[in-house]
Amino acid sequence: MGTLSVSQIKLQKRLRRLTGEAVADFNMIEHGDKVMVCLSGGKDSYTLLDVLLHLQKVAPIQFEIVAVNMDQKQPGFPEDILPAYLKGLGVEYHIVEKDTYSVVKELIPEGKTTCSLCSRLRRGTLYTFADEIGATKMALGHHRDDIVETFFLNMFFNGTLKAMPPKLRSDDGRNVVIRPLAYCNEKDIQAYSDLQQFPIIPCNLCGSQENLQRQVVKDMLQEWDRKTPGRTESIFRSLQNVHPSQLADRNLFDFSSLKIDENATPRFVNLLNL
The model's pTM: 0.88
DSSP character for 177?
A: E
Task: Decide if pLDDT at 121 tops 50.
Answer: yes
> Are the C-beta atoms of 139 and 37 separated by less than 8 Å?
yes
Strand ranges inside the chain, DSSP E:
34-38, 64-71, 93-97, 137-139, 167-169, 176-178
Is 203 annotated to bind a ligand? Reply is: no
At 87 the pLDDT is 95
Confidence of residue 76 (pLDDT cuts 50, 70, 90): confident
> Are the C-beta atoms of 127 and 174 separated by less than 8 Å?
yes
Cα separations (Å) of 178 from 30, 118, 200? Answer: 12, 20, 22
At 207 the pLDDT is 47
Task: Decide if pLDDT at 149 tops 60.
Answer: yes
Cα separations (Å) of 216 from 220, 221, 230, 235? Answer: 6, 9, 19, 17
At 114 the pLDDT is 55
Q: What percent of the chain has pLDDT over 90?
A: 70
Is the CATH number 3.40.50.300 carried by domain 6-210? no
At 103 the pLDDT is 66
Domain ranges of the chain: 6-210
Strand partners, 177: 138, 168
Mean pLDDT on 22-48 = 97
Averaged confidence pLDDT in the chain: 88
Mean pLDDT on 232-260 = 95
DSSP character for 183?
A: T
Per-residue pLDDT tens over the stretch 159-217 = 999 999 999 998 888 899 999 999 999 999 999 999 999 999 876 545 444 447 888 99
Per-residue pLDDT tens over the stretch 9-19 = 999 999 999 99
